[in-house]
């Protein structure tokens, strides 16, 4: 039986359900059959499939299921990368949909990685003031992270994801088989986000990950399903407490991201998000130890696992530039640098203030180890 989750995590954690946030997330190698069933049970006027043009085989599978229910459905091939997350790339899509008279009772289906999901979610939330949207994520990063939480968005020249909406899909269908075609480097990048949940929320998962990471890398479906299921559950639980990212409780998901985002900016296009997060988590862990929050044993254990990630070697880094970038990170208020640290493996310590001298000291250690 496929696992059916409510994206609020309410049923799982005992939190109060938030009705308008509920939608099913199906995680199973047979989830596309559920997708087909879902479409059959709805009465949409038409269906538009937006697909990453690289995914020819996956597209054929999904298209066939859609056409069975909606013979007049439309397919739009897209280039799944950051350039799609722009007004320039989306504007012609609005025109195309209007020309084809796609109405408000239609449903959009997105098939692809996080860029396709973010962009098409945004399109769905704004086209004719909102049409239903189903998300089928195909990268590990999209399956464990970006497909949960309702954030859609596009980029601005001043930064990533600065324009967007909170818009929940009607359902998310996750099939780990899509990952068979995903390059190893992309898999690694997605796994970093999975490990992040273990480090901030679940010590036992961290130790399991230690033993099963290789099986996941080898594409073992049962291990991947387990990782995805747990990640989706954790993210849902955190998101349910802070739907619009205002109270700060989502902040723990930012573990490894403050330093990581700065690296991503410096090495734009050269380093993947998850790879930058691996370095960011290492920095945050060193800082946690430096500030006396994390003991030496847990520091060594977490470094051992993070050391297994194949990440590109960093060239020389300029400390002053990194500090400036971190200061300008949108999550930092009133000039102070705040980071999510660890009090232990599986236990996040959000909102920790970091002074410039502390940053310098830890950066020296980081540089010795990593650069």
Ligand X SMILES: NC(=O)c1ccc[n+]([C@@H]2O[C@H](COP(=O)([O-])OP(=O)(O)OC[C@H]3O[C@@H](n4cnc5c(N)ncnc54)[C@H](O)[C@@H]3O)[C@@H](O)[C@H]2O)c1
Minimum gap (Å) between residue 317 Cβ and ligand X: 23
354 — phi, psi (to 5°)? -120, 125
Contacts of 282 (CB under 8 A, 6+ apart): 303, 306, 366, 369, 370
CA pair distance 55, 27, nearest whole angstrom: 20
Pick between residue 81 and residue 212 the one whose CB is nearest to ligand X.
Answer: 81
Minimum gap (Å) between residue 95 Cβ and ligand X: 23
CA pair distance 236, 331, nearest whole angstrom: 21
Minimum gap (Å) between residue 211 Cβ and ligand X: 26
Pick between residue 28 and residue 298 the one whose CB is nearest to ligand X.
Answer: 28
Minimum gap (Å) between residue 260 Cβ and ligand X: 12
Minimum gap (Å) between residue 142 Cβ and ligand X: 4
- Nearest CA to 203 out of 278, 302, 310, 306 is that of 302
* Exposure b/e, 153-188, CB count within 10 A at least 16 = b: bbbeeeebeeebeebbbbbbbbbbbbbeebeeebbb
- Which DSSP string corresponds to 11-32? HHH-PPP-GGG--EEEESTTHH
Cα 77 to Cα 66, 82, 104, 122, distances in angstroms: 15, 15, 21, 17
Pick between residue 9 and residue 149 the one whose CB is nearest to ligand X.
Answer: 149
Token match 């559920």: residue? 34
Pick between residue 219 and residue 344 the one whose CB is nearest to ligand X.
Answer: 219
Pick between residue 47 and residue 51 the one whose CB is nearest to ligand X.
Answer: 51
Note the residues at the interface with ligand X (CB under 6 A).
Answer: 52, 54-55, 80-82, 85, 112-116, 118, 138-139, 141-142, 145-146, 149, 151, 160-161, 178, 181-182, 186, 273
Minimum gap (Å) between residue 354 Cβ and ligand X: 23
Token match 């479906």: residue? 221
Pick between residue 36 and residue 160 the one whose CB is nearest to ligand X.
Answer: 160
Pick between residue 2 and residue 150 the one whose CB is nearest to ligand X.
Answer: 150
Pick between residue 62 and residue 354 the one whose CB is nearest to ligand X.
Answer: 62
Minimum gap (Å) between residue 200 Cβ and ligand X: 15
Minimum gap (Å) between residue 85 Cβ and ligand X: 6
What tokens does 232 get?
């989706």
- Nearest CA to 172 out of 219, 217, 228, 226 is that of 228
């Amino acid at each position: 039986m496929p696992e059916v989750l409510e994206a609020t995590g309410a049923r799982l954690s005992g939190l109060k359900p938030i009705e308008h946030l509920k939608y099913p997330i199906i995680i199973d190698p047979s989830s596309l059959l559920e997708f087909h069933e879902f479409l059959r049970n709805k009465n949409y006027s038409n269906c538009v499939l937006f697909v990453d043009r690289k995914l020819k085989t996956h597209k054929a599978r999904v298209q066939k299921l859609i056409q069975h229910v909606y013979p007049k459905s439309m397919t739009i091939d897209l280039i799944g990368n950051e350039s799609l997350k722009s007004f320039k790339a989306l504007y012609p899509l609005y025109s195309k949909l209007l020309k084809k008279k796609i109405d408000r009772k239609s449903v959009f289906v997105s098939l692809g990685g996080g860029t396709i999901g973010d962009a098409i979610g945004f399109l769905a939330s704004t086209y004719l003031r909102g049409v239903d949207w189903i998300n089928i994520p195909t990268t590990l990063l999209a399956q464990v992270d970006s497909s949960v939480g309702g954030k859609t968005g596009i980029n601005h020249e001043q930064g990533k994801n600065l324009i967007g909406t909170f818009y929940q899909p009607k359902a998310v269908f996750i099939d780990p088989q899509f990952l068979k075609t995903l390059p190893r480097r992309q898999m690694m990048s997605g796994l970093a986000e999975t490990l992040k949940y273990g480090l901030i929320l679940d010590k036992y998962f961290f130790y399991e990950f230690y033993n099963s990471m290789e099986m996941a890398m080898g594409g073992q479906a049962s291990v991947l399903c387990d990782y995805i299921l747990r990640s989706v559950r954790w993210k849902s639980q955190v998101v349910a407490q802070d739907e619009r990212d205002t109270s700060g409780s989502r902040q723990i998901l930012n573990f490894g991201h403050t330093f990581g985002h700065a690296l991503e900016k410096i090495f734009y296009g050269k380093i993947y998000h998850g790879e930058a997060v691996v370095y960011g988590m290492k920095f945050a862990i060193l800082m946690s130890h430096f500030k006396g929050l994390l003991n030496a044993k847990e520091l060594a254990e977490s470094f051992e696992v993070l050391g297994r990630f194949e990440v590109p070697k960093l060239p020389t880094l300029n400390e002053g530039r990194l500090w400036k970038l971190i200061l300008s990170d949108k999550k930092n208020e009133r000039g102070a640098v705040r980071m999510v640290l660890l009090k232990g493996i599986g236990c996040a310590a959000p909102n920790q203030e970091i002074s410039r001298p502390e940053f310098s000291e830890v950066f020296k250690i980081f540089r010795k180890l990593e650069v």
